[in-house]
Structures are given as structure tokens and as C-alpha cells.
Amino acid sequence: MSYDNDNIFAKILRQEAPCIPVYEDTHSFAMMDIMPQTEGHVLVIPKEAATTVYDLSAEALTACMLTVQKVGKAVEKALQVEGSSLFQLNGRVAGQTVPHAHFHVIPGSLLALKGHAAEQADPAQLQKIAEKIKATLDTE
């Protein structure tokens, strides 16, 4: 499938759409999910244009995984939970709703999750959680 340059994450990366960022480095970017399935739900995305994880270069994939690890640890600390889940969907058949590769970081129990991409959270509340995660990242 060819990459859709107008998908929402491409627009966010080009700063044409807003987001609540938590971390950024040369090849990857992390932000709050605006329809979180639980408090502290963060997305890690590559800066490279890739629809699924299978389309990523080794460099971008490596950068994303290192960011998932870094941000995942900070999310657990900031939210004061001792566990988290990672998930990642490839293709519409799998349920992928945004066609730019990304990793979901979900703190806490999977049993308590809200629906996928279902309900928009209060941006002020998301910003508060983002600040906690960023403060934790700064102390690492």
C-alpha cells in the first residue's frame, strides 16, 4: 500500500495538526493518544513515512523501539503502575485506523481498557499527564 501523506500523524509531524508531545529525537516522536484507552496511553511513531511496521527501515524501527522502551519506563513511573502493554496494528484488516506506523504504550491492566480510538479525552487532562511523563523522562 502506498503511503498517504495526508494521514493525521504525517500532518502532526509536519506541524500542520496539533498534538500533545512527550518526547522527540532524530528518528522518532511520542505523543499522548487523544482517545486514550487508559490514562497515560502514549503513541510512539517514526518520523519516517511508513504505513506499517513492515515498511520501516532498520534505523527507524530501532529508533522507535528504543523510544518505546524509554517512554514506556517513564509512563510506568509517572502513572505509578508496575506494568504496561505494548501493541501495534498493521493494516485495516488488523484494525489499524491511522496509516502511519506506530506503537501503543498502555500502562496498567489490559482488563480495564476503554474501546479503541473511541472517546476523545479532555486535552487539559492529557496535557497534565504529558507533563508528568516529561518530568519523569527528564530525571532519567
Known catalytic membership, residue 104: no
CA distance 71 to 57: 21
Q: Does the protein bind ligand AMP through residue 113 (CB under 6 A)? A: no
Query: Which listed residue (65, 98, 113, 121) binds ligand AMP by CB under 6 A?
Result: 98
Closer of 8 and 81 to ligand AMP (Cβ)? 8
76 binds ligand AMP, rule: CB under 6 A:
no
Is 97 near ligand AMP (CB under 6 A)?
yes
Strand order in the sheet with 28-32: 21-24, 28-32, 42-46, 103-107, 84-87
- CA–CA separation, 114 vs 36, rounded Å? 8
Residues facing 29 on adjacent strands: 24, 45
Q: Which of 27, 102, 104, 116 is catalytic?
A: 102
Which residues of this chain interact with ligand AMP, rule CB under 6 A?
8, 19, 31, 33-35, 43, 89, 95-98, 116-117
